[in-house]
Structure 1
């Protein structure tokens, strides 16, 4: 019976056609998984008649051949995708009449379940500019946003590409690929795109970036004046940084100004095992009473070499004579390399990274008197645990010619800055009458301006002693021969320090009050200068 035979053939073809149609784009019946959501305009009203497309998260707009499911929102802005296979997806939605868009990424679909999305807002689109890195062979390549339709081809003459009409919000990643590559090269994660704005991706190849904002207003460091060439301390820990995203020694860490000019940095400590790092970054100008300033941090580049450079951060051109972070080697971070030759103090956790702990007879000796400066600043963090009755505790002394000492019990003068007078065999003290034993960490700073006849003692960023001007200057006659930390500079035994000392600095100038306060506000336990990005 030929009629029945032909009918059977046609039924078989029809069944095959229906199965094919139900599996367009690789999305077919895999249980009853659904994705539902609602789109709204910025005024909160529903967004009807909005085109909604569903993309696999790894969709490549150049190579992928899958047909993309399309839905349209109803009068209440609702949409539903049914019969979705398990996996991760991205939704791209566009309201053509108003030229508004949104991108919803990271949608997880589990078999036999419904993924209910929060309400999402349609906004005007922006653009993304990608500066082409020199290590990418751009022939036949393209840059794209995985899981979307957005891409741009790159040719050998391009220094950058611009992807237009990108939905505002956080773009999970941008990648580079070629027709012959199966695995794309991720250029950057988490790109922030704003409406009607151009987001520029500098230094692609560094996969991660974060903006660091400095706040000097009353809600932050509360510093009114501008401070030049300031080394900002950046602290990384498990709560603000994933160490596994960077190289094991932090070699790929970079810092850039907003115009992509590099900023010098020094890694004081990098401990990925215990998730701790301290990095110093020199900022040209920290503006007073300002919370809209900062720079950008980059990491996540396996091929980057180490750029940590202490002398560039603590440049002698900016007035540094010596900077000791008081870590294991006790080396000078400046170009001068006033390194210690003898150190009996032990290593322990300090105010910033590691420090030295002294027992009253320990000391760190730096040969010489640092050029015998007469205009200078001494500064150090100190935690005093105990004292010798009737005596005091030396933090740093340049041969006993100029020094800072804690808790001097003689006449209850307390923590002092002191100079050996040039016009006689006596000492001229800047007196605080304050004692700090067993009260934690304190930043002690002593500035001497011989030309202006000023000497100022600061404790924790505040002026505690500013004697009247006098003609007495520092005398280096009849003093010791070395710079000593934790012990008297000319042989006396009763001024040994018992406690911890960290971040000792000597400058060839009197630093400003704003500089001193900014150091304290940035370096104390709760940093109030670095308020966004990383704390």
Structure 2
């Protein structure tokens, strides 16, 4: 199938576009489930929206689908009210527009046998038009632009490439651009937001990609609640059938691209891509995540004439401090690959490692004294002096609390490590030559997932639990043994002797030669947790 080629520049009049979590459910501002719906609208001063045009359409309705799609056209009564009854199951949009510049868009979902429902009163808001300039394949004589769920269409001017969609209610939209000569030649653009409270630079998109989708990174208090800007951040992007059309991308190594808000390509790594199962996990290196704000990126997918460029070494760049990153997705039977260019690939030891569903897709369960050895790591990038700078992090789930130690990351008991100690505490320890262990601790518990981050910065030491600083006042536990740099890193066991085996599950183990900031660590936790609110996929 040939595709439209070129780019689109969307320009608003009166309003600009930007993705917002307030519109995460799709077009409109509300959501209800019922077989009968009563809707009332008023103007901002409380006056009923009497005599306003009302259009009910299926959510996937397009202007050229008038024959097969459910549609109702009517007007509000003198009190600004309209009743829809006997609707079939499905998702709908309701546009109420007085045709004088005031409108509202409502989304609703109808389920079988649900009772009738009266929606909260909706307020009419100022409408807007938006315009675009399309550069497309000149072999396509004409191109139409339509809006999903709305009675809107526009023709692209064959000379200038310009188009305008007028009198649009505030809301979130998906556009369809298609050739009038061959409707199979088409491109969807998702995540277009119209709101008078948001501003964004004009949007430029390459239309040669069949699937174009906006992703919003939300650091406001309704999202990750991170107030400082974070740069070069590897964000995990979870795709599923609810937010991505896998029918457009069937390859095991798909051709996709990520772009920042300026149109620059962002590196990415595919941890998992399962088109038949409609699920994917990707890590994308975001150049700038704005603090207490919304950052928009774009995913492009579905081209068949290019190859995928999954590149873990570019995402987890050693120049950005990453010295080892283990996603632990191997299943426990083969090498445990390091995503960085250092290739500190782990070797499973014992038979008690197994792949299980963890926080970010598959991780590993540790049992029966099994562990992971990291060969050739005694010297070099993973060996730090006692007053060096580094960060250790991991997602951990321990099966039991007892009087035994359980190591998470160990570079010998007499250098550094992250563990659960015999006092039922999460513990970051750094050994000081001929002096003892410098320890920061916090209470541990079994049966729950924890995101642990231990930071050493010169003489300062910090332990974070679930993105929150738990201890910054290290305590010295005295010993007179010399520091020992001679041992390899191990995951799930003390590295200098066969002891302190971990019992439970782990995911996403990392070692960096940077002292990660509190904002960085909090953003990692907020992004990676399963109930995250940081990544919003339109």
Does 2:531 match 1:526? yes
Distance change in 2, residues 1:150/1:435 (3 Å): closer
- Residue 404 (structure 1) aligns with: 417
Distance change in 2, residues 1:40/1:351 (3 Å): closer
Deviations 1:365-413 (A, max 9, x none): 22222432333111112222247x754112112355533343332xx48
How far residue 44 of structure 1 moved from its aligned partner, in angstroms, is 5.6
Point out where structure 1 has 5 or more consecutive residues left out of the alignment: 1-35, 81-87, 109-116
- 2-structure distance, mates of 1:244, 1:524: 23
Deviations 1:342-364 (A, max 9, x none): 45422212222111222242121
How far residue 250 of structure 1 moved from its aligned partner, in angstroms, is 7.6
- 2-structure distance, mates of 1:506, 1:336: 12
- 2-structure distance, mates of 1:91, 1:221: 32
- 2-structure distance, mates of 1:512, 1:54: 50
User: Aligned ranges for residues 116-135 of structure 1 at < 5 Å?
Assistant: 124-130=126-132, 132=134
- Residue 352 (structure 1) aligns with: 360
- Residue 308 (structure 1) aligns with: 310
Is the deviation greater in 41-50 or in 316-325?
A: 41-50
Does the aligned pair in 2 maintain the 1:402–1:417 contact within 8 Å? no
- Residue 249 (structure 2) aligns with: 247
User: Aligned ranges for residues 255-294 of structure 1 at < 5 Å?
Assistant: 255-288=258-291, 290=292, 292-294=293-295
Distance change in 2, residues 1:119/1:311 (3 Å): same
Deviations 1:266-322 (A, max 9, x none): 33233455554433233334444x1x3222343563547534332222111211111
User: Based on CA coordinates, which of the two structures has the bigger radius of gyration?
Assistant: 1
Distance change in 2, residues 1:477/1:257 (3 Å): same
User: Aligned ranges for residues 53-202 of structure 1 at < 5 Å?
Assistant: 59=63, 98-99=100-101, 124-130=126-132, 132=134, 136-137=137-138, 139-145=140-146, 148=151, 150-155=153-158, 158=161, 161-169=162-170, 173-178=174-179, 180-183=181-184, 185-189=186-190, 191-194=192-195, 200=203, 202=205
Does 2:427 match 1:416? yes
1:319 to 318, 321, 324: 321
Does the aligned pair in 1 maintain the 2:391–2:511 contact within 8 Å? yes
1:235 to 234, 238, 254: 238
2:438 to 405, 426, 429: 429
2:337 to 311, 331, 343: 331
Does the aligned pair in 1 maintain the 2:326–2:510 contact within 8 Å? yes
Does the aligned pair in 2 maintain the 1:138–1:155 contact within 8 Å? no
- 2-structure distance, mates of 1:310, 1:220: 26
Cα RMSD (Å) of the superposition? 4.8
- Residue 383 (structure 1) aligns with: 397
How far residue 454 of structure 1 moved from its aligned partner, in angstroms, is 1.9
- 2-structure distance, mates of 1:79, 1:513: 52
- Residue 218 (structure 2) aligns with: 214
- 2-structure distance, mates of 1:215, 1:263: 19
Does the aligned pair in 2 maintain the 1:269–1:279 contact within 8 Å? yes
Does the aligned pair in 2 maintain the 1:234–1:279 contact within 8 Å? yes
- Residue 465 (structure 2) aligns with: 459
- Give the TM-score taking structure 2 as reference length: 0.68
| Partner SS state of residue 266, structure 2 | coil
- 1-structure distance, mates of 2:168, 2:256: 30
Point out where structure 2 has 5 or more consecutive residues left out of the alignment: 1-37, 84-90, 111-118
- 1-structure distance, mates of 2:108, 2:525: 42
Distance change in 2, residues 1:129/1:398 (3 Å): farther
Name the count of aligned residue pairs.
462
| Partner SS state of residue 202, structure 1 | strand
- Residue 29 (structure 1) aligns with: none
- 1-structure distance, mates of 2:165, 2:491: 60
| Partner SS state of residue 145, structure 1 | strand
Does the aligned pair in 2 maintain the 1:324–1:503 contact within 8 Å? yes
Q: Which has the higher contact order (CA 8 A, sep 6+)?
A: 2
